[in-house]
Amino acid sequence: MIDKRIVIDVGDGAAIPDPRDKGLFTAWRISFFGTLGIIAYLLIFKTDPYLDIIKFLPDGIVVTFKVTFASIGLALVLGLIAGLGRISKNTFFNLAASTYIEVVRGIPLLVQLFYIYFALGHLVRVPDMVAAIIAMGFCYGAYMGEVFRAGILSIDDGQTEASLSLGFNRSQAMRYVVLPQAWRTILPPVGNEFIALLKDTSLVSILAVSDILRRGREFASESFLYFETYTMIALVYLVITLILSKILSNVEHRLNHYERR
Amino acid sequence: MNADNPIISIQNVHKFFGTFKALDDVSLTVDAGQKVVVIGPSGSGKSTLLRTINRLETISSGTIVVDGQDINAPSSDINLIRAEVGMVFQSFNLFRHKSVLDNLTLAPIKLKKEPRLEAERRAMELLEKVGMVDKAESYPVQLSGGQQQRVAIARALAMNPKIMLFDEPTSALDPEMIGEVLDVMVTLAREGMTMVVVTHEMGFAREVADSVVFMDEGKIVEIAPPNRFFDHPAHTRTQRFLEQIL
Ligand SMILES: Nc1ncnc2c1ncn2[C@@H]1O[C@H](COP(=O)(O)OP(=O)(O)OP(=O)(O)O)[C@@H](O)[C@H]1O
Ligand SMILES: [Mg+2]
């Protein structure tokens, strides 16, 4: 059954632009080209110190992306398991998944990061970046779990019944029929989570992981150019998230295409 | 027909949804090659009965034996049994993310490990049979209801089932599309397929059915060959129902 309740979805990712928006001045274009313009202006007219600042950041950008991709990968796996658990009729599996989601959602991400990081440190010696990835993935996996659950539930029961009637078992029906369709519903919120996660990776800078923010802080504490450094960091994050939201909106558009006649 | 050895044997089946009794001591046997049409008012348990035959609904008590196997016995593999029992739904339920051809080949390739080429060749034969060859590359959303239902029938046939179950296959269709689907079903019946069909198409019942089953309030009220059923119904409830719909 289609759930007719209106969902007000205030994602914490960047706004995903609508590709059908054909006006010359879209919010995305103003933000993106405005940001590039300001960066260009700073680099040309205030070369010192902005050139030094931006040259200091690429290593951090690479680290930010590594943490983001690895964490989202882990979050997707955990999210799929948690989402399947939440709709499972198996009481143990269902309770375990629900508890995981409740607990994770009730604790601030920063606190979880510290907690997992130091708890993990007691048990095994893992590199800082790995600990950070596990913590981020664990946390975002819970949010992903709800996304997967909603995506799976959005697929009509008839699809599963048709699969079962052909001789597929439940997990085959899930794998071959339900998930490939749910993916289209899941993709937009996953995209939002991806961008939100990229921004939240700035939190790992407190865990001795040299992401964009930490590289910036190192630069600022040596040069005392706090304002200039954080200006550049904000601009760099903005460019990255704007590019990502554009890519996501295009992918989404293409996936939706075949659904229309 | 070998009446001693029916391909479907339903004995004293009860089905509860909570405290609601949807099937009340239902018994019915279907011989290989027989066509049974099930009719009855809304909520009388027709769909529930059909869905117990491939265990989409589990029964509360009684036994159902399909092709020699007690389908509710722990020892029987329900997935293998379901592969032998095709089902066609009122709402078609084609796989929306697959082309028509892929709808037909998915199960044979994944479940029977048929080579893709072989599965596609067979799929094209079936599409030919239901008159849908030119839409092989289309997606379900691009088809009319009648076309989708014909593809759904072909998809069920792709597993070479011994039995076909139809749950009001034409009820969701615009009137002008009902004929094309019924034609396919009549052809299938002529070829000797064992069929259990829930439908309100009385013309189809008269033409094709070996016996007509009338259900009301979870019970089978009457079972009779179509001529006797329509012209001389034995029960007053059957008579009243027929008066209403004819
Ligand atoms: N999953 C379910 N949970 C609770 N009640 C159900 C469920 N499925 C069916 N029922 C009830 O069982 C009764 C029989 O339903 P069924 O769908 O078999 O009727 P039907 O004869 O097919 O009717 P229709 O002609 O409307 O399709 C109905 O009263 C229905 O409300
Ligand atoms: Mg029904």
Residues 6+ apart with CB under 8 A from A261: B141, B142
Alpha-carbon separation of residue B176 from A254, B143, B144, B180, B181 (angstroms) = 35, 15, 11, 8, 10
Confidence bin at A2 (pLDDT 50/70/90): very low
Q: Which CATH class is domain A22-260?
A: mainly alpha
Q: Which two tokens stand for residue A14?
A: 């960047």
User: How far apart are the C-alpha atoms of A108 and A103, rounded to whole Å?
Assistant: 10
Total H helices, total E strands in chain A = 11, 0
Question: Cβ–Cβ of A161/B96 closer than 8 Å?
Answer: no
Q: What is the pLDDT of residue A206?
A: 87
Q: What is the pLDDT of residue B2?
A: 47
Core vs surface per residue B211-225: b (16+ CB within 10 A) or e: bbbbbbebbbbbbbe
Between A174 and A9, where is the model more confident? A174
**Which of B96, B97, B107 is the closest to A166 by Cβ?**
B107
Chain B closest CA to A250's CA: distance in Å? 19
Core vs surface per residue B141-162: b (16+ CB within 10 A) or e: eebebbbbbbbbbbbbbbbebb
**For A209, left (φ over 0), alpha (ψ -120 to 50), or beta?**
beta
Given a contact cutoff of 8 angstroms between Cβ atoms, the answer to whether B149 and B181 are in contact is yes
SS3 letters across A93-137: HHHHHHHHHHHHHHCCHHHHHHHHHHHHHHHCCCCHHHHHHHHHH
Q: Where are the domains of chain A?
A: 22-260
Question: Cβ–Cβ of B87/A258 closer than 8 Å?
Answer: no
Residue B106 in contact with partner chain A when CB distance is under 8 A: yes
Cα-flanking dihedrals φ and ψ of residue B14, to 5°?
-115, 145
pLDDT tens digit string along A87-122? 999 999 999 999 999 999 899 989 988 888 888 878
Closest C-alpha among A144, A172, A146 to residue A159 = A172
Alpha-carbon separation of residue B23 from B46, B48, B221 (angstroms) = 9, 7, 12
Q: What is the pLDDT of residue A48?
A: 87
User: How far apart are the C-alpha atoms of A80 and A149, rounded to whole Å?
Assistant: 8
User: How far apart are the C-alpha atoms of A177 and A163, rounded to whole Å?
Assistant: 7
Q: What is the pLDDT of residue A98?
A: 95
Alpha-carbon separation of residue B232 from A116, B54, B57 (angstroms) = 78, 32, 33
Given a contact cutoff of 8 angstroms between Cβ atoms, the answer to whether B106 and A167 are in contact is no
Length of chain B in residues, anyone?
246
Q: What is the pLDDT of residue A67?
A: 94
What ipTM was assigned to the predicted interfaces of this complex?
Answer: 0.94
Q: What is the pLDDT of residue B141?
A: 94
Q: What is the pLDDT of residue A119?
A: 84
Confidence bin at A20 (pLDDT 50/70/90): low
Q: Residue range B224-232: average pLDDT?
A: 95
Global confidence as pTM: 0.86
User: How far apart are the C-alpha atoms of A152 and A141, rounded to whole Å?
Assistant: 16
Q: In chain B, whose CA is at the least distance from the CA of A177?
A: B95
pLDDT tens digit string along A176-206? 999 999 988 898 899 999 999 999 999 988 8
pLDDT tens digit string along B169-219? 999 999 999 999 999 999 999 999 999 999 999 999 999 999 999 999 999
Given a contact cutoff of 8 angstroms between Cβ atoms, the answer to whether B63 and B174 are in contact is no
Q: Residue range B121-130: average pLDDT?
A: 97
Q: What is the pLDDT of residue A13?
A: 52
User: How far apart are the C-alpha atoms of A139 and A74, rounded to whole Å?
Assistant: 10
**For B217, left (φ over 0), alpha (ψ -120 to 50), or beta?**
left
Which of B13, B16, B20 to mutate for ligand 1's pocket (most ligand atoms within 8 Å of CB)? Answer: B20
pLDDT, averaged across chain A: 87
SS3 letters across B141-186: HHCCHHHHHHHHHHHHHCCCCCEEEEECCCCCCCHHHHHHHHHHHH
- Using the 8-state DSSP alphabet, how is residue B53 labeled? H
Distance B170 CA to ligand 1 centre (A): 18
In this model, does residue B88 exceed pLDDT 90?
yes
Confidence bin at A8 (pLDDT 50/70/90): low
Q: Which two tokens stand for residue A109?
A: 């991400």
A-chain residues near B104 (CB < 8 A)? none
Which of B23, B38, B48 to mutate for ligand 1's pocket (most ligand atoms within 8 Å of CB)? Answer: B48
pLDDT tens digit string along B7-51? 999 999 999 999 999 999 999 999 999 999 999 999 999 999 999
Q: What one-letter code names the amino acid at A10?
A: V
β-bridge mates for residue B63, sequence order = B11
B-chain residues near A173 (CB < 8 A)? none
Q: Which two tokens stand for residue B5?
A: 């050895």
Chain B closest CA to A182's CA: distance in Å? 10
In this model, does residue B115 exceed pLDDT 60?
yes
CB atoms near residue A102 (< 10 Å): 10
User: Residue written as tokens 């599996």?
Assistant: A93
Given a contact cutoff of 8 angstroms between Cβ atoms, the answer to whether A120 and A126 are in contact is yes
Alpha-carbon separation of residue B228 from A117, A152, B61, B203 (angstroms) = 79, 48, 32, 14
In this model, does residue A215 exceed pLDDT 50?
yes
Given a contact cutoff of 8 angstroms between Cβ atoms, the answer to whether A134 and A224 are in contact is no
Share of residues in chain A with pLDDT > 90 (%): 58
- Using the 8-state DSSP alphabet, how is residue B224 labeled? E
Alpha-carbon torsion (A222, A228, A231, A232), positive or negative: negative
